[in-house]
Amino acid sequence: EVQLKESGPGLVQPSQTLSLTCTVSGFSLTDYSVHWVRQPPGKGLEWMGVMWSGGSTAYNSALKSRLSISRDTSKSQVFLKMNSLQTEDTAIYYCTRDSLHWGQGVMVTVSS
Amino acid sequence: DIQMTQSPSSLPASLGDRVTITCRASQDIGNYLRWFQQKPGKSPRLMIYGATNLAAGVPSRFSGSRSGSDYSLTISSLESEDMADYYCLQSKESPNTFGAGTKLELK
């Protein structure tokens, strides 16, 4: 069974760095890509970036300067790091495979 | 970046209605268009992929179509469980981009 699960801190201080982990099971990261999507409270979905199965990445143009996605295939984990967080980055962060399989999401609040 | 213009932003409708939501792509995306349903507190659910293909388990009252750069999601006869937010996503090229969303609500 394909599963994805996001984990990370629920609260991050402004200007700090967000680190999230997407732990997957039921498939190999070398066979499938994993995307990150976020959703601020009461707002729409925003595509953030992707870790392709071959190991390359692509990013949202507006976030590119702050965002980094990496992986550890041996641990079946994909990592998201975003620096210089502001209150506007408060959102639910999801990881997804194929758009068909989604994690439950992790709520991240940026506040002092 | 490819822009996806989704309309309407809000759609009041009655049970049994036929409803249509549309996304217009700013550049050619072929059939690289997906539709998602999202209910409060839940992760998005893939409904349509490849512009016209029904995802597994999605009721047949849902359909997707394309006319040039306009992509539509149609529900042939609205049921109460269909009340949700709907989003389109272009996956033709990176960065992928979502439409702004449509809130489908009871009239």
DSSP code of residue B96: P
H-state helical runs in A1-112? none
Among A60, A96, A105, select the one facing B95 at the smallest CB separation.
Answer: A60
Q: What is the pLDDT of residues B28-58, one digit of tens each?
A: 999 999 999 999 999 999 999 999 999 999 9
Instruction: List, as one string, the DSSP characters of B21-70.
Output: EEEEESS--TT-EEEEEE-TTS--EEEEETTTEEPTT--TTEEEEEETTE
CB < 8 Å to A47, chain B: 89, 95-98
Q: For the stretch A67-76, what's the b/e string if a residue is b when 16 or more beta carbons lie within 10 angstroms of its beta carbon?
A: bebebeeeeb
Angle at A106 between CA A64 and CA A12, to 5 degrees: 65
Q: What is the pLDDT of residues A47-76, one digit of tens each?
A: 999 999 999 999 999 999 999 999 999 999
Token code pair at residue A22: 């997407």
- Chain B interface includes A49 (CB < 8 A): yes
Sorting pLDDT into bands at 50, 70 and 90, what band is B106? very high
**Chain B residues close to A3, C-beta within 8 Å:** none
Query: Is the CB of A46 inside 8 Å of chain B's CB atoms?
Result: yes
Q: Determine the number of helices (DSSP H) and then strands (DSSP E) in chain A.
A: 0, 11
Residues B68-100: tens digit of each pLDDT:
999 999 999 999 999 999 999 999 999 999 999
Question: Cis link prior to A40 (omega < 30° from 0)?
Answer: no
Q: How confident is the model at residue A29 (pLDDT cuts 50, 70, 90)?
A: very high
Looking at the partner chain, which of B46, B97, B98 has a beta carbon nearest the beta carbon of A100? B46
Tell me phi and psi for residue B25, to 5 degrees. -95, 140
**How would you class B93 by CB atoms within 10 Å of its CB: exposed for 0-12, middle for 13-18, buried for 19 or more?**
middle
Task: Say yes or no for a CB contact (<8 Å) between B43 and A60.
Answer: no
